[in-house]
């Protein structure tokens, strides 16, 4: 394997490995002359679009409709919700001029779209018969991230989707939050094989302006947490300043209840790359892979035509069922093997003169490297079975890694020791912000929240301050 093509850093050195995989697998080019704004290459963009479409299909299946709101928002809209403006005003990119003319009111690029969408909702909604309103949009958002940027994991422009719903009652809003949770599980776990825990974030770390925030956290190979999606129950905290009201069945005016949901497509792809990959590069879930099957003809003098004919015939047949690439480039077979392994293609089909003579092909799995001779007539079914088995194996392996990195601590010393090992640590906690700040200052770790639906009761005093514990929470270091 050439040094230029192959991965030279083992995955245990995660930070270096990640950057090398992103570069050599053709995911992103960081040489664009604005920091935090890499160029995403075709291999990454295919997956970004595919993840986006997975969520769009779930949204539409559950009654959401697509919409498109402007990327520019007036400053006056940002200031309508006080908690919201305090959180985002330091992160926004401001537009102050159009050509040579100074704008009368500053505009900013959306860091999230509440302040773009809700002024319009106040115009559209009139009576209870207009509810529920469930819209979503897909695109990019912009935040002036001051921490170190890393492609897909943390940047200043990133891909995501956001749904914004308006409901008649608090109960309907909470049901919508639970629907968002099912959507997330259907995509992230069931199609991409990424395990996560769902946390209700503590009051001091909610989305600005929300009544409650629910975060979907996964564990990366270096033990840090990546938050890959969030759902927020906004209550009436935005409907009041934005005047989103409806007339109910009794002809009385009511403020609406709202929710919003943001799956972070860039972060989700970073988790796929990081959690499933190995020392050779990417290992991609079959549902996501730009190429599911690559066919590599192995040419030997005197047998070229028969091998090429068989490869083309197989390509024509398999492309009816799979995303297939026939690699006829003049490189040596070994070079091609390494390149497609680096790019994470789930199945490789090799066809040489001996295979043609025997009426078979050789199938190689990316996840295990296992080779299998398969009769030509059985190839299509065998590939289908292998792709399913590959995904099941990937999902199980990722879940085992996740479970191994969830621990419990009964005192502060034990907590610090476990945090050095990475992952999530469960503790009894007083649920006071001052104690969370002490933890952050001492260790760099954060309180991620209470596991949703677990209803765990603390059995010890707060492991940080020793006061009576009120909640069981999970803590970790995060991106």
Domains along the sequence of the chain with CATH:
14-276 (3.30.930.10), 293-389 (3.40.50.800), 406-476 (3.30.110.30)
What is the pLDDT at residue 149? 76
Partners of 40 in the beta sheet? 28
pLDDT digits (tens, 9 = 90+) for 50-106: 999 999 999 999 999 999 999 999 999 888 866 776 777 788 999 999 999 999 999
Partners of 293 in the beta sheet? 324, 347
What is the pLDDT at residue 300? 87
pLDDT interval class at 383 (50, 70, 90): very high
Mean pLDDT value across residues 467-476: 97
- For residues 255-274, one letter each, b for 16 or more C-beta atoms within 10 angstroms of the residue's C-beta and e for the rest, the string is bbbbbbbbbbbbbbbbbbbb
Q: What are phi and psi of 432, to 5 degrees?
A: -110, 140
CA-to-CA dists, residue 376 to 142, 305, 324, 359, 381, angstroms = 51, 18, 16, 6, 10
CA-to-CA dists, residue 68 to 134, 160, 266, 411, angstroms = 13, 13, 19, 50
Mean pLDDT value across residues 166-187: 98
Nearest to 109, CA basis, from 77, 76, 71: 71
What is the torsional sign of CA 53, 57, 62, 67?
positive
What is the pLDDT at residue 88? 78
What is the pLDDT at residue 78? 84
Q: What is the β-pairing status of strands 293-297 and 347-351?
A: parallel
What is the pLDDT at residue 305? 93
87 secondary structure, DSSP code:
H
How many C-beta atoms lie closer than 10 Å to residue 92's C-beta?
A: 20
pLDDT at 390 over 80: yes
Compute the mean pLDDT over every residue in the chain, rounded to the nearest whole number.
95
pLDDT digits (tens, 9 = 90+) for 193-211: 999 999 999 999 999 999 9
The pTM (predicted TM-score) of the whole model is 0.95
What is the pLDDT at residue 147? 74
Distance of CA 399 to the CA centre of its chain: 16
Cα–Cα distance measured from residue 227 to residue 267, given in angstroms and rounded to the nearest whole number: 7
What is Dmax (Cα atoms) for the chain? Answer: 86
Element (H, E) at 365: strand 360-365
Nearest to 138, CA basis, from 79, 41, 64: 64
What is the pLDDT at residue 1? 34
Nearest to 474, CA basis, from 197, 279, 208: 197
What is the pLDDT at residue 4? 57
Cα–Cα distance measured from residue 37 to residue 33, given in angstroms and rounded to the nearest whole number: 8
pLDDT digits (tens, 9 = 90+) for 303-362: 889 999 999 999 999 999 999 999 999 999 999 999 999 999 999 999 999 999 999 999
Q: What are phi and psi of 371, to 5 degrees?
A: -105, 145
List the alpha helices (DSSP H) in 350-464.
353-358, 379-404, 412-421, 433-443
pLDDT interval class at 166 (50, 70, 90): very high
């Amino acid at each position: 394997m050439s040094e230029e093509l192959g991965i030279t850093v083992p995955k245990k050195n995660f930070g270096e490995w990640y950057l090398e995989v992103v570069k050599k697998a053709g995911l992103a080019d960081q040489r664009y002359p604005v920091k935090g704004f890499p160029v995403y290459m075709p291999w990454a963009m295919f997956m970004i679009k595919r993840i986006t479409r997975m969520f769009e299909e779930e949204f539409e299946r559950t009654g959401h409709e697509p919409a498109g709101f402007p990327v520019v928002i007036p400053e006056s809209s940002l200031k309508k919700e006080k908690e919201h403006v305090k959180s985002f005003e330091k992160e926004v990119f401001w537009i102050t001029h159009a050509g040579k003319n100074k704008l009368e009111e500053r505009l900013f690029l959306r860091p999230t779209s509440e302040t773009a969408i809700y002024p319009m909702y106040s115009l559209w909604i009139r009576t209870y018969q207009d509810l529920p309103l469930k819209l979503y949009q897909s695109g990019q958002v912009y935040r002036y991230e001051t921490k170190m940027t890393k492609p897909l994991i943390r940047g200043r422009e990133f891909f995501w989707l956001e749904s914004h719903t308006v409901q008649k009652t608090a109960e309907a809003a909470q049901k919508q939050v639970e629907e968002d949770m099912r959507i997330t599980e259907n995509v992230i776990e069931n199609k991409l094989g990424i395990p996560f825990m769902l946390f209700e974030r503590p009051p001091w770390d909610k989305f600005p302006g929300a009544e409650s925030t629910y975060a979907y956290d996964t564990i990366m190979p270096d033990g840090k947490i990546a938050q890959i999606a969030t759902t927020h129950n906004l209550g009436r905290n935005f409907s009041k300043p934005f005047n989103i009201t409806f007339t109910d069945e009794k002809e009385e005016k009511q403020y609406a209840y709202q929710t919003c949901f943001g799956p972070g497509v860039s972060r989700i792809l970073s988790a796929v790359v990081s959690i499933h990959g190995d020392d050779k590069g990417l290992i991609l879930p079959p549902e996501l892979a730009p190429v599911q099957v690559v066919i590599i003809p192995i040419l030997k003098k005197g047998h070229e035509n028969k091998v090429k004919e068989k490869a083309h015939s197989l390509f024509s047949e398999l492309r009816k069922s799979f995303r297939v690439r026939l690699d006829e480039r003049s490189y040596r077979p070994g070079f091609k093997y390494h390149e497609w392994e680096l790019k994470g293609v789930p199945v490789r089909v090799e066809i040489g003169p001996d295979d043609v003579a025997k009426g078979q092909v050789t199938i190689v799995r990316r996840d295990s490297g296992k080779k299998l001779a398969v009769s030509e007539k059985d190839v299509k079914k065998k590939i289908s079975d292998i792709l399913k088995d590959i995904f099941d194996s990937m999902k199980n392996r990722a879940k085992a890694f996740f479970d191994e990195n969830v621990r419990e601590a009964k005192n502060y010393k034990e907590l610090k020791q476990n945090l050095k090992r990475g992952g999530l640590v469960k503790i009894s906690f007083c649920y006071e912000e001052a104690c969370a700040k002490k933890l952050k200052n001492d260790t760099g770790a954060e309180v991620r929240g209470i596991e949703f639906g677990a209803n765990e009761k603390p059995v010890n005093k707060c492991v940080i301050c020793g006061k009576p514990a009120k909640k069981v929470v999970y803590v970790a270091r995060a991106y």
